[in-house]
Every structure is written in C-alpha cells, then in structure tokens.
Amino acid sequence: MKFGYARTSSRDQNLDLQIDGLKNAGCNEIIKEQKSAIKDRPELEKLLSILREGDVFIVWKLDRLGRSLSDLIRLLNILKQKKVEFVSIKDKIDTSTPAGRFFFNIFASLSEYERELIVERTNAGLLAARTRGRIGGRKPGMTQDAKNKAAAAKHLYCEKKLPVNEIANTLGIGKSTLYRYLRYMNVEIGL
C-alpha cells in the first residue's frame, strides 16, 4: 500500500500542492499533519505504527518529513527496519531503486560523520582546557575565604547574641549561604 504524508509548519500554510503531488504518485491514503509543533507529530507517529513490510511511504519533499538531518535519518532507519520503501517526489529519491538506496546511504554516512565530528570537537576542547590547567565541573570543596567565613558564622551563631539576618549581613552573605556554612561546620541549627 502507498501512504502519503503531507505536513505544514503552521495552520495558515496550505497542503494542496503536497496533496496533489501525493495523489499523482498513486497514494492510496494521505495522512495530513497541520500542526505547529517542535517535536509532537501525532499523525506521523500513527502512520509509522500502521506501516507494514512492502508498504511505500511517500512525501512531496524531504523537508516535510524531517526537521534536521539526524531526525530524517532516524525516520528513514525506522522505515528501513520495517522494510518499507521511501519515496520523496521532488528530491527524486526512491529507496526501491539502487540510486535511492545509494542516496540513503550517503545521508546515513553524513549523519554518522556529523556525530563523530561533534565528539571529536568536544574531546579536543576538553583536552585543551586540561592542558591550560582547567578541569571541568564544579570546584571541589570550599575556598579558604569561605572556610574563614564559615568559622566566623559558627562563632557568631553559637554566641546567640545576633539574629540570623544580622550575622549574614555582617559576613556579607545570604541566609541560605549562612545555613550552608553552619552545616559545613557541623552546627546544630535551632528553629
């Protein structure tokens, strides 16, 4: 069976051009998605769930199916696993032909290459940072200045002469930081 999929990015766009192309391609059923959403495409998900081996999935143009190269590759891999052929009318791609399969493999290779470049750049950036003495992540423990303030906070708090707000103001810190310092110093905090 030949299934057509037509999608617009917004409600004001018209599906007529896509639907005419899909009808001319001999689609038995045309699924229409007219929803402006970043990730949610319920009609596409329904269509993917009913496709069976030997079916043909047809779109008017590749950009109507995938929002990015990786999204497109993901969807085409789903079709390949289901043994469903894919046709893009305007892009002249048909995976039932050797040229169409070749084109699909080029797309898959580009996607894999893109992923590997991202990993390579990330690793190179981390290595460059390490050679400059920078290590990613949160700095371990408290600075010496923070430890000094924590000791002062403990002393002032245990004296019980100043309210919490005044202790925090005196030390130039917020109340939440004061309480964190007191916990660091193992002070039992009374309510």
pLDDT surpassing 70 at residue 94: yes
Report the pLDDT value the prediction gives residue 12, as an integer from 0 to 100: 61
Write the class of the CATH domain 2-110: alpha beta
Report the pLDDT value the prediction gives residue 101, as an integer from 0 to 100: 83
Sheet holding 93-94, edge to edge: 29-34, 2-8, 56-59, 85-88, 93-94
| Assigned token pair, 82 | 């289901």
Using the structure block, give the residue that is written with the tokens 């892009």: 91
Backbone angles phi, psi at 102, to 5 degrees: -60, -45
Q: How many CB atoms lie within 10 A of CB 123?
A: 10
pLDDT surpassing 70 at residue 191: no
Percent of the chain scoring above 70 in pLDDT: 94
pLDDT digits (tens, 9 = 90+) for 10-56: 666 788 999 999 999 999 999 998 865 556 788 999 999 999 999 99
**Could you list the active site residues?**
9
Q: How many CB atoms lie within 10 A of CB 87?
A: 23
